[in-house]
Amino acid sequence: MQALLDVILPVFLVIGAGYGAVWRGWFSDPSVDGLMSFTQNFAIPCLLFRAIWTLDVGPDFDPFVLLSFYSGSATGFAIGLIAARYGFKRDWEDSVAIGFCCLFANSVLIGLPITERAYGADALQANYLIVAMHSPFCYGIGITAMELVRARGTPVRHLPGKVGRAMFRNALVIGITLGAIANLSDIRIPGPVTDALDMMIRAALPAALFGMGGVLFRYRPQGDGRVIALICFVSLVLHPTITWTLGTITQISTTSFRSAVVTAAMAPGINAYVFANMYGRARRVAASSVLIATAISVMTVWIWLSLLP
């Protein structure tokens, strides 16, 4: 438990600092928007580019690790979307954003350090494999679904172009795509450029968390309790349960099994809010879900770790 607190508590302290700064009037709403724009459009794409560019899948690649994890992700998205639309009577755009909250686990900020603390640095290969596919998979589903529901009445032949333009105007997807090209082409980047990238990357997560604190002050939960409870259940219970079941059936290695289940047990990541903010839909739900699910995950992740072999 202490190890989990050591990992999660600093995250909350940075979020709390952002919340307190906006609450006390030391950091304005336009400043929060500017900070989130910086992280969303520049710093985090640099982080994703660097991660994909340097990824080495190696000979031990097991597709069933991805199948186990992403089947749970896709199921969570479908349940969140359908429940939001037909259970909570939200419009289609809000429902897609809520589904995205159930889809996008915090695989980097909390998933990596918890796995490392629990099983050591040598246990992270499957984590990196999941992380490499995470944003392309999740943003691919989310953007496609959002563009489809926004394009109601548009001729079907126009939809692939709309989805493609939306995908490749997204800075995160551009960062991932450029990283994949650099990786496959074995491009060597000059040292000063790499150092500049690393400077941007070091700023990405702390700045995003501080900005998230300001966002949480703006979008405090009001009447969204049932929707947030659904997101917490899907993210913290259903997703790891599906991953555990499929990982057992497909007999992935113990090391990969641990990484997949621990990553699946993470709360929604900050990209859940980034996606909602990108489209201006369900931002209060997304921001509150990230905070509340992360707080609850202190206990649920401890339970999952105690159950793993």
pLDDT tens by residue, 50-79? 877 887 766 667 889 999 999 999 999 999
In this predicted structure, the answer to whether residue 82 has a pLDDT above a threshold of 90 is yes
CA distance 69 to 115: 15
In this predicted structure, the answer to whether residue 85 has a pLDDT above a threshold of 80 is yes
Model confidence at 114, pLDDT cuts 50, 70, 90, reads confident
Sign of CA dihedral 140, 92, 224, 19: positive
CA distance 228 to 129: 29
Q: Does domain 2-307 match CATH 1.10.3470?
A: no
Token pair in block for residue 207: 């700045």
- State pLDDT tens for residues 17-57: 999 999 999 999 999 999 988 988 899 889 888 877 887 76
The SS3 assignment for 108 reads helix
Select the more confidently predicted residue: 118 or 76: 76
In the chain, % of residues over pLDDT 70: 92
Of 110-119, 181-190, 227-236, 290-299, which gets the smallest average pLDDT? 110-119
Select the more confidently predicted residue: 139 or 90: 90
The SS3 assignment for 268 reads strand
CB atoms within 10 A of CB 304: 21
Select the more confidently predicted residue: 132 or 100: 100
SS3 content of the chain, % helix, strand, coil (to 5): 80, 0, 15
In this predicted structure, the answer to whether residue 282 has a pLDDT above a threshold of 70 is yes
pLDDT at 153: 63
| 292 φ/ψ sector (left φ>0, alpha ψ -120 to 50, else beta) | alpha
pLDDT at 57: 66
Model pTM score: 0.81
pLDDT at 3: 59
